[in-house]
Amino acid sequence: MIPSAMRRLVAVGGLFALANGLSGLFTGVYLFRLRPGLETPATYALWQFLALLAAAPALGWLIKTRGAVLTYQIGTGLHAGFYLALLLLRERAALHLEALGAWMGLALGAWAMASHVLVYDVIPEEKRELYFNQSGLVTSLATLVTPLLAGWMLSALPGLTGYRVIFVLSFVLFAASAALSLGLTPSRPPAPFRLGAVLPGRDPDWRRLLLAHSVLGLRDGITSFAINLLVYLTTGGEARVGQFTFLTGALGLASYWVASRLMHPGNREKSFRLGAVGMAAATGVLAFGVSWPVLLAYGVLQAVVNPVWLTSFSTASFSIIRRAMGSEDLRVEMIAAREIPLNLGRVVALLGFLALVRGAGEGQVLFLRWLLPFLGLPFPLAWLLMRSGGGQVWPLGLGALVRLRGPRR
């Protein structure tokens, strides 16, 4: 039986995914069309993550003192306001990359951190695999419809008219997600926010978790805009971006369904290992070049393996937080602290990327092509960091990779 609070949380996330599927995937392409050059989406992404890095402590304080539900509603409202701003700015949006990036960073930070705290508070430990898989199913279902529809509208309508249509629809869906979240009941009373109590942290597993997030941030900083932009540049149209996301969403939906049948607390380690190696292998496909067939192969492999990786990584993260915090009162501080190395890694990656791409001249896309295959390495490295203890690393054998099904508890 799925608890009612879990159903509402999944529904709220589903509306958010619908809104983000319409516009979030295309914002980087939209800004690129207004001001061509890889510096445009990279600068926008850099300011997102700078804002996330700077605001993490303040957002943690807001969650702890005013509640995760209110913070979630603020984050969703900021998303809605962002697309309203794009509608009002029109072509002038490219002149305000820094401000727009920071705005979206605050929106993402408030939404993501509040979502993590709500999951921790609402979903019990033994139900988290179920929640992450149910949430993944709904999100994948949302990405089946909205990107395909958005891509078709962007290609069919003249000029930038299609963008204005999908920005309006996203505004409405984000507002609906915020309204539905009103039914979520805060589970904890207000309390003081003590970030210093968890940084740097005495627990070695907690320190390795923070380091793993910084490693993953190095990848996220670039892939946050690169893949969809490369699909657009390679195929010459937004419709292909929608088709790409539709296909990967369909495969992700099927993969989440399979993962929900196979993954459980008894095989978390095997699932984690399989997800890390699988994601690295999927990214490695990009070494064969940047063409539509290669990007399609990457999308297919990534869609199949990502549910295993994301569910196991998220579950492992929450388990480490529960073991390491010492006191339930510090759960928000640990979630806020986790955002700092993650976004620091993203910022470092984007600063390096911008420095290199500005010197690449007309070879910017070629530079990105050779960079992307190496962005699969953070997955196994993060797994090794999170699964190691006392100098002993879990053995990585083929038999362990394929034996996903384990004894149920």
Read off the pLDDT band of 149 (50, 70, 90).
Answer: confident
403 has pLDDT over 70: no
Read off the pLDDT band of 44 (50, 70, 90).
Answer: very high
215 has pLDDT over 70: yes
CB 205 within 8 A of CB 320: yes
407 has pLDDT over 50: no
Read off the pLDDT band of 327 (50, 70, 90).
Answer: low
Q: What pLDDT is attached to residue 391?
A: 32
Average pLDDT, the chain: 81
Mean pLDDT of the region 348-358:
87
Between residues 395 and 253, the one the model is more confident about? 253
pLDDT in tens, 293-325: 999 999 999 988 988 888 888 888 878 887 777
Mean pLDDT of the region 200-221:
86
Q: What pLDDT is attached to residue 326?
A: 66
Q: What pLDDT is attached to residue 58?
A: 92
Q: What pLDDT is attached to residue 409?
A: 32
Mean pLDDT of the region 8-25:
83
CB 243 within 8 A of CB 148: yes
Read off the pLDDT band of 394 (50, 70, 90).
Answer: very low
Q: What pLDDT is attached to residue 360?
A: 61
Q: Does domain 4-184+195-402 have CATH number 1.10.260.40?
A: no
The listed range with the strongest mean pLDDT (184-193, 225-234, 291-300) is: 291-300
Q: What pLDDT is attached to residue 236?
A: 75
106 has pLDDT over 90: yes
201 has pLDDT over 70: no
Q: What pLDDT is attached to residue 361?
A: 61
Which range among 127-136, 192-201, 356-365, 396-405 shows the weakest confidence by mean pLDDT?
A: 396-405
Q: What pLDDT is attached to residue 7?
A: 78
Mean pLDDT of the region 129-146:
77
235 has pLDDT over 90: no
Q: What pLDDT is attached to residue 216?
A: 93
398 has pLDDT over 80: no
pLDDT over 70, % of the chain: 89
Q: What pLDDT is attached to residue 95?
A: 92
Mean pLDDT of the region 101-129:
83
Q: How far is CA 109 from the centre of its chain?
A: 11
Give the pTM: 0.81
405 has pLDDT over 50: no
Read off the pLDDT band of 400 (50, 70, 90).
Answer: very low
Q: What pLDDT is attached to residue 50?
A: 95
Read off the pLDDT band of 247 (50, 70, 90).
Answer: confident
Q: What pLDDT is attached to residue 348?
A: 93
